[in-house]
Amino acid sequence: MRKWVRRLVATVAVTALGALALPTTGFAANSKTPIIVGSKSFTESKVVSEIYALALEKAGYKVTRKQNISNSVVFKAVQTGQIDVYPEYTGTIVDAYLKQSTTNKNAKQIAAAAKKGVAKYKLTTLTPAPGNDSQGIAVTTKVAKKYGLYTISDLQKKANKIRFVSQGEFDQRADALPGMVKKYGKFDFKSSKDYDDSLKYKILSEGKGDAAPVSTTDGQLANGNKYTLLKDDKHLWPAYNLVPLVRNSTLKSHPKMAKALNQVDKKLTTKTLTELNKKVDVDGQNYQTVAKNWFNKNIN
């Protein structure tokens, strides 16, 4: 699951950077120096990274793309200048990189903590997108309608009617099912079986399960007739708003950079990210084509 993979970057190793084989930009960047735009290795990061690249090219800058960077080293890569900017998440920055608590913090507070915290690395975050790629629970829409499930509180009350499609680590991790139990009460599921995360939507679509942990911008969730994302009505999970993470030196030497990326980010809602992910992960389109089509339609 994207969110939990992102959390693993807390154990970044400097030595792992050698495997990237990326050129360094140094510290003498100027407006003619290409901006190196990076991404992590999952669909959403690659699509948004390509949109960033297109926006910067439209602003008149040369761009070098370095996508599919390992989640475990991408934060170190932007610190050392091997990339200049990439799409990150406010909650990931605060929780995984800064190792600060996000408990009881709203989206605005988390974004502020992220911006303040990365300053010591000579980095900055630009304006966060409204899109939030967080943890969530989805149920099949058929089951949601049958039992009136629209919130996680609803799920807790009707858990004895629900077959839960889990992953082993979700049952054990403090901020997953144990966190749900602490916040909402015991979930006495009719059954709970562990499956590989990549199979969850297949299991649900085949009617072998009713509910599963998901990321809130999964492309499959674009089909509301098939799946319903339950509202986290007691606010268990923090905000993971998409945000450009940028080197200060690059921002200074490329003065139109911030405006170009902020123009993009303000239009990347949760619904938009979900639709972009769907085009790649469900419809099988190339992520670069998806990014270009969206950019041409939405950015003037």
CATH class of 35-132+241-299: alpha beta
Q: Residue 179 burial (CB < 10 Å; 0-12/13-18/19+)?
A: middle
Confidence of residue 30 (pLDDT cuts 50, 70, 90): low
CATH 3.40.190.10 in the chain: give the residue spans: 35-132+241-299
Residue 7 has pLDDT above 90, yes or no: no
DSSP characters over 163-185:
EEEE-HHHHH-TTSHHHHHHHH-
Give the chain's largest Cα–Cα span.
Answer: 62
169-217 pLDDT tens trace = 899 888 899 999 999 999 999 999 999 999 999 999 999 999 999 999 9
Record: fold of 135-230: D-Maltodextrin-Binding Protein; domain 2 (3.40.190)
Render the burial of 152-173: b for 16+ CB within 10 Å, e for the rest: bbbbbbbbeebbbbbbeebeee
Query: pLDDT band for position 65 (50/70/90)?
Result: very high
Q: Is the pLDDT of residue 100 over 50?
A: yes
Report helix, strand or coil for 133: coil
pLDDT surpassing 50 at residue 4: no
Grouping H, G, I as helix, E, B as strand and the rest as coil, residue 231 is strand
DSSP helix/strand/coil, 278: helix
In the chain, where does the domain assigned CATH 3.40.190.120 lie? 135-230
Backbone angles phi, psi at 66, to 5 degrees: -135, 80
| Bridge partner residues of 139 (DSSP) | 211, 228
pLDDT tens, position by position, 120-165: 999 999 999 999 999 999 999 999 999 999 999 999 999 999 999 9
